[in-house]
A and B are shown apart, each in its own frame.
Chain A
Amino acid sequence: MKRRQSATQLAERMLAGDSLALPRLISLVEGESAAVAEIMRRIAPHTGRAYCVGVTGPPGAGKSTVVDKLTVLMRQRGLSVGIVAVDPSSPFTGGALLGDRIRMQQHYLDPGVFIRSMATRGSHGGLPGTVQGVIKLLDASGRDVILVETVGVGQTELDVVNTADVVIVVVTPESGDAVQAMKAGLFEIADIFAINKADREGAQRMKAELEAILAMKPGESIAVVLTEAHRGVGIEELYQELERYRRAQEENGELERRRRHRRREEFLELLQRRIRRRFLDFADKDGQLKALTEQVVAGELDPYSACARVLGDRHWLDKWLSQEGPALSEAEG
């Protein structure tokens, strides 16, 4: 019963401020429902206002605690906040334990804060493509700031760059030295570093090391802030750096450049996903293609020649594009 309402109706209700509509829409987007295109079309005119802050770093570094404390400061300044906390799904069972909310309890009853936990689901450890859509929903629902927490392991770190207007990388003194951080690729994505758990040994030394490495990057000024998030120490400084970064970004056009890049990426990515899915459906059904695949499987034909044969055959491509099933333009995710 709960899913039956039309997506357009839900979108209208969300734009009118209905508190049940937003969570449902997020589920539709997250589940790559066929209604996503309709939802996105409806909310598009209401997006582009929110500022999106990515918070990433290794597990246990204190990301959720930082998000919680930044939210306090933002609320004090009258900003409404949306939080998307992403944790990995098990590739084996598909299950996930989403525990970031534990650190954010003080905001549960505040209507100015909306928190949503997301699992990575089928995105192979990367940030799911659906996060972008969820951010748009929060944006359209009128949030001033959206904080996106992702675990910085492997691919998610790179994906977060294509999602956020600014990226805070949270590291700890015990997460190893600055060279370790460099190897992990954190320098490529960080706009601001927070060395959290500064109450622990080695924080000052790590700060000095990070700054020394950063000094070698020409043309960029990346701040390094020491924080003790569990006690709220250093969060005001971190917030100031965020503000400073945003102002600079707005003045020098970097924010717009980043958003243009993101729109391009999103479009091409979507196109790819849909073509791919449509093709896999076709490959499943088409006898001619199956026979060709079998030749490759048996080692009788090399994959490159097989590929050239498919792509060189207009008739075949026509057959693919005119196959039965949902129109390519409306296919799911």
Chain B
Amino acid sequence: MTEEKPTRVLIAKPGLDGHDRGAKVVALGLRDAGFEVIYTGIRQTPEMIVHAAVQEDVDVMGLSCLSGAHKTLFPKVVELLRQSGRQDVLVIGGGIIPEDDVPLLMERGVQAIFPSGTLISRIADYIRDKVQR
């Protein structure tokens, strides 16, 4: 078959804030861009997110955080993915992330940060570009 395997993306919201409008908009946008998006809901611990990512065999993990706890939560997810043998998952982040925090997150293994308001098409292009097999 010529048909390609669709890229699987997990959209997760680590941390305690209960607002997932932004994450849902991204999830819907990526679906419309042709991705298989697994949405896991709010208030997830990094452990829960990584378990889901492993079971769902995703290619990409999109983390959204509005609470300000991204500096600990995002790197924790990256670390747990590595411990689970899934360091190959492309981890990207979004939400309310101050520019000053970006270098630290990148250093800790987050591959890209898309602040609130980023065009979904940009995120979709980025993923397509990175997940070429």
Interface of A toward B, CB cutoff 8 Å: 1-3, 19-20, 23-24, 26-27, 31-32, 89-90, 93-99, 101-102, 105, 108-109, 114-117, 119, 121-122, 277, 332-333
Contact = CB atoms under 8 A, between A and B. Distances in A.
12 contacts: A20-B54, A27-B57, A90-B31, A94-B6, A95-B34, A97-B37, A99-B38, A105-B40, A108-B47, A108-B48, A119-B6, A277-B1
Interface residues of B, number: 32
A98 B37 CA distance: 6
**Which secondary structure dominates chain A's binding surface?**
loop
Interface string B1-35: 10101100000000000000000000110111111
A32 B1 contact: yes
Given A105-B44, A117-B56, A99 B39 contact: yes
A95 B34 CA distance: 4
A97 B57 CA distance: 15
B41 interface: yes
B113 to A, nearest CB: 23
A95 B40 contact: no
Given A20-B86, A23-B55, A101-B41, A95 B32 contact: yes
B84 to A, nearest CB: 7
Given A114-B55, A116-B55, A93 B36 contact: no
Given A89-B36, A119-B36, A105 B41 contact: yes
A95 B6 contact: yes
A95 B88 contact: no
B71 interface: no
Given A93-B34, A96-B31, A99-B39, 9 more contacts: A2-B88, A93-B32, A94-B6, A94-B34, A95-B32, A97-B27, A98-B36, A115-B52, A277-B1
A101 B88 contact: no
Interface of B: 1, 3, 5-6, 27-28, 30-41, 44, 47-48, 51-52, 54-57, 84-86, 88, 133
Contacts, number: 88
Given A90-B31, A97-B28, A1 B38 contact: no
A101 B52 contact: yes
A292 B52 CA distance: 52
A95 B11 CA distance: 14
B54 A23 contact: yes
B38 A117 contact: yes
A330 to B, nearest CB: 14
A19 B54 contact: yes
B85 A93 contact: no
Nearest to A32: B1
Given A93-B33, A101-B39, A109 B51 contact: yes
Given A93-B31, A333-B1, A108 B37 contact: no
Given A95-B30, A109-B48, A116-B56, A102 B88 contact: no
A27 to B, nearest CB: 5
A123 to B, nearest CB: 12
A95 B88 CA distance: 22
B82 to A, nearest CB: 13
Contacts of A108: 44, 47-48, 51-52
A161 B2 CA distance: 30
Contacts of B39: 97-99, 101-102
B47 A23 contact: no
Contacts of A333: 1
A105 B14 CA distance: 13
A101 B27 contact: no
A3 B3 CA distance: 17
A97 B31 contact: yes
Nearest to A30: B5
Nearest to B30: A95
A116 to B, nearest CB: 6
